A and B are shown apart, each in its own frame.
Chain A
Amino acid sequence: MKLYCLSGHPTLPCNVLKFKSTTIMLDCGLDTTSVLNFLPLPLVHSPRLSKLPGWVSKDGTLNLEKKELLDLSTIDVILISNYHCMMALPYITEHTGFTGTVYATEPTLQIGRLLMEELVNFMERVPKAQSATCWKNKEIQRMLPGPLKDAVEVWTWKRCYSMQEVNSALSKVQLVGYSQKVELFGAVQVSPLSSGYSLGSSNWIIQSHYEKVSYVSGSSLLTTHPQPMDQSSLKNSDVLILTGLTQMPTANPDGMLGEFCSNLAMTIRAGGNVLVPCYSSGVIYDLLECLYQFIESANLGTTPFYFISPVANSSLEFSQIFAEWLCHNKQSKVYLPEPPFPHAELIQTNKLKHYPSIHGDFSSEFRQPCVVFTGHPSLRFGDVVHFMELWGKSSLNTIIFTEPDFSYLDALAPYQPLAMKCVYCPIDTRLNFHQVSKLLKEVQPLHVVCPEQYTQPPLTQSHRSDLMLELQPPPMPYRRCSVLNLPFRRCYERVYILPELANSLVPSEIKPGVSLATVSAVLHSKDNKHTLQVSVLPPSKKRKRVMEEPPVVLAPKPLLSGAVPLDAFLATLQKHGITEVKVEETADGHILHLQAEDTLIQLEEDGTHIVCDNNEPLRTTLRDLVLRFLQKL
């Protein structure tokens, strides 16, 4: 069993597990941090930005060393754990000869589709006359200004996919429900478990009858909107692959939420606008729910909240229809029936408005001061670019970062100098180190595999030994492009004995509680399922001159066990008319000399040797007598 690690990003993992001749890709996250190397894509022509020296390109990198490490066309299935970890799907399903199936839950598929749609939309509505690729040449790249100069492997950076590729990729998705058992080729069973991180997010169990691998990716123990994490099903794993821990181990999500609200209120009261760069699904639901409770008490009842994204409406609508995937509280609301998320009420009362983009209705209905939720959190593309240009120069306004994926300083760099206030309240609900060690203590996997980043404290806080995994035995770290041999020794496989054969077996008790039966049967293996059935031998031809033909070995004789007791054996010999026996004692046993027949039988603890010339009938008789005392296996 091998694990190929294609991504070094701990929260956007991409691993390939080879297990019992199936090749399973675990997630395919799209690392978009490379867009920080580019200038923002403005919606409206900006003289300032266009005067800045630099390079503008379309987004995206997926750093896979496909060719060298592994042939991606051999992948049988892709298991998706949450919608953030599937953004690279079109690159894999569309350009590698992939012919397998992708498994994901329904919310993961639907919201993943929305996020991809949004990304494509952001890119395509600002088409560029030309796109440069020559700079990716190493020679030229060296001459570019930093930090682009120092970026590694830029040739793996790719252009954004198209909507057509997204649709084609997503058509390969097969929907699964939590705890559904999916058989892969009869060899392996995979099953998603609730991971508590986002709508439909899942951890995966990959198991056969004897081995169990758990894949934990992006889990949360906090009570937010999704169904709570299923921990108990992770028990008894041989290997637990641990990815997607919190990126903000020192930031408490609750505290951040409080800070978010207070900064928001302060800015609005002072007459400024608040900009929240965020993804269109996920934490935004919690932010809106928090604001719903906060608005009245903070006297913000008249402040308009805008959510601007090509998929804003869809995201808000979809969140309301996945009752099965929500936490208990929200589920019981549906039984009333009420929408599970309070943003329905915010929309109804016109406090929250959503627009596909800043063009159209929004420009006429827009009132200030206001709060705007919009993407993309990298500040490089999407409607957020426009608001940065619009509000950046006033110190009344505030930008509040809630998404932890991008460094906010890097994100803001091209907009400097900036007068607007910046508040950094990253909210990452994923497991922190304290929670994960408690979890591991609970589920007790034999081995843990994790990104190497988790085995040492963060670079910036090297003294914080609490910000790493300390386990016994130590976790097996991986980095990008490593290939791990997972410590597995498969010993058994499941075989089914058909009833007819089972009935014909004759068990004999060897020791108390232990019985044995010799099995001679025909093995049928089909679709990785093995069955044993009664062997129907071809009718043997009655051969007159048997000895002319050598015997066909159909059944090798069984092994023998036990010992032949001397006295009992002598008595048996006597019964068969062999009376003249001279017994001689040796170091290891006895030698019996059958004088009349001129035959020797050597009896020892672990062996019997019959020396008999020219008397085949006698030999076979003796053989059968000896066999009476022995157990056949």
Chain B
Amino acid sequence: MPEIKVTPLGAGQDVGRSCILVSIGGKNIMLDCGMHMGFNDDRRFPDFSYITQNGRLTEFLDCVIISHFHLDHCGALPFMSEMVGYDGPIYMTHPTKAICPILLEDFRKITVDKKGETNFFTSQMIKDCMKKVVPLNLHQTVQVDDELEIKAYYAGHVLGAAMVHIKVGSESVVYTGDYNMTPDRHLGAAWIDKCRPDMLISESTYATTIRDSKRCRERDFLKKVHESIERGGKVLIPVFALGRAQELCILLETFWERMNLKAPIYFSTGLTEKANHYYKLFITWTNQKIRKTFVQRNMFEFKHIKPFDRSYADNPGPMVVFATPGMLHAGQSLQIFKKWAGNEKNMVIMPGYCVQGTIGHKILNGQRKLEMEGRATLDVKLQVEYMSFSAHADAKGIMQLIRMAEPRNMLLVHGEAAKMEFLKGKIEQEFSIDCYMPANGETTTVTTNPSVPVDISLNLLKREMALGGPLPDPKKPRAMHGTLIMKENSLKLVSSEQALKELGLNEHQLRFTCRVQLQDPHSDNDTLHRIYTHLKSVLKGYTIQHLPDGTVMVESIVIKVSSSAEDANTKVLLLSWSYQDEDLGSFLSTLLKKGLPSGLC
């Protein structure tokens, strides 16, 4: 039996360092290659030694597919391809290909330049890694090799996020990456067609959340910013240059416009313009509203949001500043934070996850006194708010996707074990399909039952469809007969006659002849006619013909009559049939032996 094997190296009953190995139809595919934000040691990256102990991965993997640019999905890519060693194709969408190297470089800088780690990938490695990337278009069927094909679907989660459909022969797997089933401020909703994969591998971050409360969170966020501005405070929002930043900018921009607010919004320089530019150039990946109106009004050209200058931080009055990096561990965001931390009117909003050891992490944990370099301490008086803006499908969304794709099996990754357990139960109950949730390093195997594609001769098919009538009759299933010829790699189903011809075999005719004696005082011709009438009444639904040459044909069975030499009243019936009519022939000979009923004319 063919099997599909799935082994998470990361994101198995966990969030972070997504990396899932799939074996399907003899092909090995790595789905995502992410890093874990929560670790600083070896556990940061997936354990590639699972694939092979010694050396390069190229010969063990047919391709690597990256679903989107978040570091927990692509952060280990240069490590895997350049340091462990992989030279095969890496597939990702155009926006992911554009943005991913920037985030990787950012990540590298933080780790190496700020934390001073060695034995990490270099800028050159990121570049070399990106050279192996093959861009994917939505819905394009990419033939990785003769047998393996992949197709990307829109996933909504971030700009360029994709779900992938992986197919080998008639077996298939869908991997969702992170996705979002409801359109948000700048992106559309995930969509997939009814592709009926053997396995659907889905994220389950919000496995137990029933309603995505993103709208509420947005309202909350705006309310907090607004209140702070009203009382004359300054709001700092540490962000990474790409992704969430643009979403929050759109959010504030529209809010400012609606409320007619005058307080300035700044975006720390550097990446800003550039980042917004990516969104402008990849506008086809955003939601319908933005796409429709971009000529008149490009949502990523912000009217209220202006570039930030260091000197502005000391300006009096309220303001909102987006500053990089997102975890307050260095750079401009940290500088501004230091300046503003002492005033309780001010506020810092952390819109994303913060790694342990960063100031962001510390203040989120309630620390109010921070030790800075040079023994100085900093009193944190400003308000600290945390707000998650990640766009994931909730339980309802996950169920909706299952309904869309109609998978035969389900596998959950990228979530917490307890929550997965809950969702697993729900899925199994509602869809009656098996649902798996392997831990890291644990292999799930499902057997598939592919049907066998065969070439059927059109003659045979047409004949069969004509006989079967326009509509199938469940009460009277018609059996079709043919011969399957297996030659090399081809399977051909043809009619038996054609099979004989094609293989150059001679047909062997097996015939039976049977003489039946009958007492019937009539002329030969009359007897024949009486037989004809008799058979007509007995055999309903058969073709019976009385031929002028003195024979009766029942289907292809021939019946002849002659008088016995001794007695003119004793007739000798000659029945002759071929093996193909065996059942009928045998029946007729027995029937006629019993004589003809007297009432015949």
Q: Please report A residues at the B interface, Cβ cutoff 8 Å.
A: 106, 176-181, 191, 209-210, 313-314, 317-318, 320-324, 331, 334-335, 337-340, 490-499, 502, 505, 507, 510-511, 513-525, 530-532, 535-538, 547, 550-551, 553-564, 605-614, 616, 619-620, 623, 626-627, 630-631, 633
Contact = CB atoms under 8 A, between A and B. Distances in A.
Interface stretch (B60-68, B217-225, B244-252, B577-585): B577-585
Contacts of B580: 556-557, 559
A323 B455 contact: no
B479 A521 contact: yes
Nearest to B93: A324
B503 interface: yes
B139 A176 contact: yes
B586 interface: yes
Contacts of A605: 506
Interface residues of B, number: 84
A547 B591 contact: yes
A426 B76 CA distance: 52
Contacts of B456: 492-495, 530
A313 B479 contact: no
B582 A557 contact: yes
A490 B458 contact: yes
Contact of A513 (B449, B461, B488, B492): B488
A322 B291 CA distance: 12
Given A180-B140, A323-B282, A517 B513 contact: no
Given A554-B479, A561-B500, A633-B496, A616 B509 contact: no
Given A321-B282, A491-B458, A511 B593 contact: no
B599 interface: no
Contacts of B481: 518-520, 555-556, 558
B110 interface: no
Contact of A496 (B142, B451, B513, B539): B451
B103 interface: no
Given A323-B94, A494-B453, A494-B454, A562 B589 contact: no
A560 B477 contact: no
Given A520-B479, A613-B516, A630-B508, A178 B94 contact: no
Given A499-B451, A516-B485, A559-B580, A606 B509 contact: yes
Given A492-B456, A530-B456, A619 B591 contact: no
Given A499-B450, A608-B509, A521 B480 contact: yes
21 contacts: A106-B284, A491-B457, A494-B453, A502-B451, A511-B503, A515-B487, A516-B486, A518-B496, A519-B481, A523-B480, A535-B477, A551-B587, A555-B481, A557-B579, A557-B582, A608-B509, A616-B586, A620-B586, A623-B512, A623-B579, A633-B500
A317 B294 contact: yes
Contact of A492 (B458, B487, B582): B458
B480 A553 contact: no
B497 interface: yes
A623 B593 contact: no
A191 B151 CA distance: 13
B487 A606 contact: no
B120 to A, nearest CB: 23
A496 B507 contact: no
B483 interface: yes
A497 B586 CA distance: 34
Most chain A C-beta atoms within 10 Å of own C-beta, residue among B280, B281, B540, B582? B281
Nearest to A557: B580
Interface in B21-78: none
| Closest 6 A/B residue pairs (Cβ) | A607-B509, A496-B451, A495-B456, A559-B496, A492-B455, A515-B486
B264 interface: no
B464 interface: yes
Interface string B121-134: 00000000000000
Contacts of B507: 559-561, 606
Contacts of B514: 611-614, 619
A547 B505 contact: no
A505 B593 CA distance: 39
A321 B140 contact: no
Nearest to B459: A491
Most chain A C-beta atoms within 10 Å of own C-beta, residue among B461, B465, B475, B510? B510
Contact of A322 (B284, B493, B497, B584): B284
Contact of A606 (B281, B468, B503, B506): B506
Interface of B: 94, 97-98, 135, 137-142, 151, 274, 277-278, 280-284, 294-295, 449-458, 461, 464-465, 468, 472, 475, 477-488, 492-493, 496-497, 499-500, 503, 505-516, 538-540, 542, 579-584, 586-587, 589-591, 593
A157 to B, nearest CB: 33
A494 B479 CA distance: 18
Given A495-B493, A633-B500, A517 B486 contact: yes
Contacts of A616: 586, 589-590
A334 B281 contact: yes
A619 B511 CA distance: 11
B454 A496 contact: yes
Contacts of B295: 313-314, 317-318
B493 A519 contact: yes
B447 to A, nearest CB: 10
Nearest to A509: B486
A381 to B, nearest CB: 24
A313 B452 CA distance: 54
Contacts of A513: 487-488
Given A494-B455, A558-B496, A561-B505, 5 more contacts: A321-B284, A510-B503, A516-B499, A557-B581, A612-B514
Most chain A C-beta atoms within 10 Å of own C-beta, residue among B464, B487, B500, B505? B505
Contacts of A106: 284
A608 B513 CA distance: 11
Contacts of B484: 505, 507, 516-519
A497 B451 contact: yes
B281 A520 contact: no
A633 B140 contact: no
B515 A492 contact: no
B510 A608 contact: yes
A561 B479 contact: no
A323 B539 CA distance: 74
Contacts of A491: 457-458
A524 B482 CA distance: 15
A547 B587 CA distance: 7
A623 B586 CA distance: 12
A523 B510 CA distance: 29
B508 A606 contact: yes
Contact of A321 (B294, B472, B583): B294
B454 A337 contact: no
A403 B483 CA distance: 60
Contacts of A563: 506, 508
Most chain B C-beta atoms within 10 Å of own C-beta, residue among A490, A513, A607? A607
Contact of B278 (A314, A324, A337, A518): A337
A551 B583 contact: yes
A510 B284 CA distance: 59
A354 to B, nearest CB: 11
A314 to B, nearest CB: 5
A298 B580 CA distance: 90
B534 to A, nearest CB: 12
B452 A496 contact: yes
B409 to A, nearest CB: 16
Contact of B505 (A338, A490, A510, A531): A510
A470 to B, nearest CB: 34
Nearest to A550: B539
B586 to A, nearest CB: 7
B139 to A, nearest CB: 4
Contacts of A493: 455-456, 458, 461
A530 B461 CA distance: 9
A578 B580 CA distance: 26
Given A499-B450, A516-B483, A518-B483, A177 B137 contact: yes
